[in-house]
Structure 1
Amino acid sequence: MATTTSSKKKKEALGWMEWLRGWLYVVYEMLFQRITASHLHNPMPLPPLNDITCIVTGSTSGIGREIARQLAESGAHVVMAVRNTKAAQDLIQKWQNDWSGMGLPLNVEVMELDLLSLDSVVRFAEAWNSRLGPLHVLINNAGIFSIGEPQKFSKDGYEEHMQVNHLAPALLSVLLLPSLVKGSPSRIINVNSVMHYVGFVDTEDMNVVSGKRKYTSLVGYSSSKLAQVMFSSVLHKRLPAEAGISVVCVSPGIVHTNVARDLPRVVQAAYHLIPYFIFSPQEGSRSALFAATDPQVPEYCELLKADEWPVGAFLSQDCRPTNPSEEAHNTETSHEVWEKTLEMIGLPSDAVERLIEGEDIICWYGANKG
């Protein structure tokens, strides 16, 4: 047994067969996503969402903007959690003007949140929880994919992809648990990516600085997305059924969003040449909107929990349940990712259990930093 454990710890990358299968899945999704999702309407029809409160991160552009707008037009109280608050206010004004005469004014507000600062995440969560109101849906949508850029680190010292795509959303999700319990049945929706299929997480080298793997933006992005799936799977298991909180990861498909601005010009040109294969942001928003509103999603999550399935709920771009990557099924690594993540975001190992019980916890970031 010791030999097996030690050999697992020495794994420093995906095996070539895992890597090849992952890329085949990515290519398959790109070529056939429009066909597999042909049964979906565009835009996604939503039920009335009056009395539902939703926080949407990264909601000033791309998929996030579509998610926030459509939720608001269906009657939800939408909180745009964004870094650029002026851009969000301008968007709200435009939406209100477009919506004028079609019903009650949209119930949308803006709160500042900078995912490149864990202090900002803590401040946001404290401000929200102090309202003592319920939260029904948290949609972690914001993300970065800086293709071709040199390796960058946040002021917290973490590789930027890992922080924005995984660490900050993880911290936000845990800190908002008290409000999600009040809003039960509630949901945490993580907008993930098909690129997690080619990701690999080394919990001893989350910043990819050891030299064991050569850093590229693709490595940073795919690793962060896989880390999010693994963390979500453990969170899904640790939340008691009576808390009434569902955790779901979704793939929006291959979408033409602002990520394209970070792509090499040749790749950007390819994006414009093959519009048939690439989803628009409105099409890419469907899986997240489905996960946030469909009544059967909590049942699916509870079924997975009861069956002791090794991974949490994952919905594909066609809004159907699917299996995340082979590596995501590695429960040992997933628990290591869980423990390492809590350590990196400054939370105690029993943070989830204590918050669910209504206890206070201390996060190393925010007012307690120092």
Structure 2
Amino acid sequence: MKKKEALGWMEWLRGWMYLIHEMLFQRIMASHLSNPMPLPPLNDQTFIVTGSTSGIGREIARQLAEAGGHVVMAVRNTKAALDLIRKWQDDWSGRGLPLNIEAMELDLLSLDSVVRFAEAYNARLGPVHALINNAGIFQIGEPQKFSKDGYEQHLQVNHLGPALLSLMLLPSLIRGSPSRIVNVNSIMHYVGFVDPDDMNVTSGKKKYSSFVGYTGSKLAEVMFSSVLHKRLPAESGISVLCVSPGIVQTNVARDLPKIVQTGYRLIPYFIFSPEEGSRSALFAATDPQVPEYTEMLKADQWPVCAFISQDCRPTNPSEEAHNTETAHKVWEKTLELIGLPADVVERLLGGEEVECKYGAHTS
């Protein structure tokens, strides 16, 4: 069978049609949702939210804390997080107990930092009820850049870092069972393509652009999540979901060309605010019916993980995301790149320690 080198033109066209439809109609499709999203009481539940000093992540962290959750802001800039926490505590004072929120350092551009964060958190021997992998980058129009680990930056921040974090935190997620891994994805994965043998896009077979880097990294995340979802047995009690926040005015837009930023501001009707964009992730992290839904998909041997749309309804990831052969190759290649053994999930579920080539070597 000839190896697939790119999306077929029909898949590509359908992907773009989906994107345009989402852009024009997301507000109408989500008109049944309240803003902000009403959350159940979250007392005694712990949430780790990456990239939570700006945009959607900031909203997710604040709202989870205001609903009573213990929130860990996993961020590159802890000073910015501590300033935010002080502001939120001041705004909240007099409305109940102080917010239970803290900051821990996590830099997704350093896989050592990811492992150090996970080890520090696991050492507390406390639970995680939901890991929300929200942090992401889209460096529009920028030339190809690599992390100090040697990986293309979109691939590392949007896929490899969150994948490593999700696996390394499995001991804490097991303690929090029933728990969830919520990956904030993008509808742009519909026009993405991944070559498992060229995930850094350096072979020259495909010309690199920031668009290729971003959409490919988001598709890789869906594929990896789908395999992880299948690898976790029902008795582990861990649900894996991807969510689309919709098209949101966030800091991702700061990397857009000036003319596009102007366009962004001219069409506020179509584009979600960060508060509106946070709803699908908050829903996926807190709705009581989510575990039942993810288990139903597993029992039906559905090829992909749960994917929640910006209107908080289940939807289907892209056609290419259903390519299970590629998904398994992406899974294997990802484990190789992040320095974990092929049987990492089974070993961590069995309570074993697993060595990673990054960080301090034990988990």
> Does the TM-score normalized on the shorter chain lie above 0.5?
yes
Match of residue 149 from structure 2: 156
Match of residue 40 from structure 1: 33
What runs of 5+ residues in structure 1 fail to find an aligned partner?
none
Match of residue 357 from structure 1: 350
One-letter code of the match for 1:154? S
Counterpart-to-counterpart distance in 2, 1:330 and 1:368: 33
Counterpart-to-counterpart distance in 2, 1:20 and 1:75: 44
Aligned length: 362
Is 2:19 the partner of 1:26?
yes
Deviations 1:211-231 (A, max 9, x none): 111111010000000000000
Runs of 4+ displaced beyond 3 Å: none
Match of residue 302 from structure 1: 295
Deviations 1:121-154 (A, max 9, x none): 0000000000011111100000000001110000
The percentage of aligned residue pairs carrying the same residue is: 81
Match of residue 137 from structure 2: 144
TM-fit CA distance, 1:268: 0.4
TM-fit CA distance, 1:368: 3.6
Is 2:107 the partner of 1:119?
no
One-letter code of the match for 2:289? Q
One-letter code of the match for 1:34? R
Counterpart-to-counterpart distance in 2, 1:108 and 1:51: 12
Match of residue 334 from structure 2: 341
Match of residue 198 from structure 1: 191
Is 2:248 the partner of 1:259?
no
TM-fit CA distance, 1:367: 2.1
One-letter code of the match for 1:273? L
Aligned alpha-carbon RMSD (Å): 0.7
Deviations 1:16-59 (A, max 9, x none): 11111001101100100000000000000001000000000000
In the TM superposition, 1:69-108 aligns within 5 A as 69-108=62-101
Of residues 302, 305, 329, the one that matches 2:322 is 329
Match of residue 219 from structure 1: 212
Deviations 1:239-296 (A, max 9, x none): 0110000000000000000011100111101101100000000000000000000011
Is 2:163 the partner of 1:170?
yes
Counterpart-to-counterpart distance in 2, 1:13 and 1:342: 23
Is 2:55 the partner of 1:62?
yes
One-letter code of the match for 1:202? D
Match of residue 182 from structure 1: 175
2:198 match: secondary structure: coil
TM-fit CA distance, 1:12: 1.1
Counterpart-to-counterpart distance in 1, 2:232 and 2:304: 14
1:60 match: secondary structure: coil
Counterpart-to-counterpart distance in 2, 1:179 and 1:350: 18
Counterpart-to-counterpart distance in 2, 1:107 and 1:367: 29
One-letter code of the match for 1:362? E
Counterpart-to-counterpart distance in 1, 2:361 and 2:294: 35
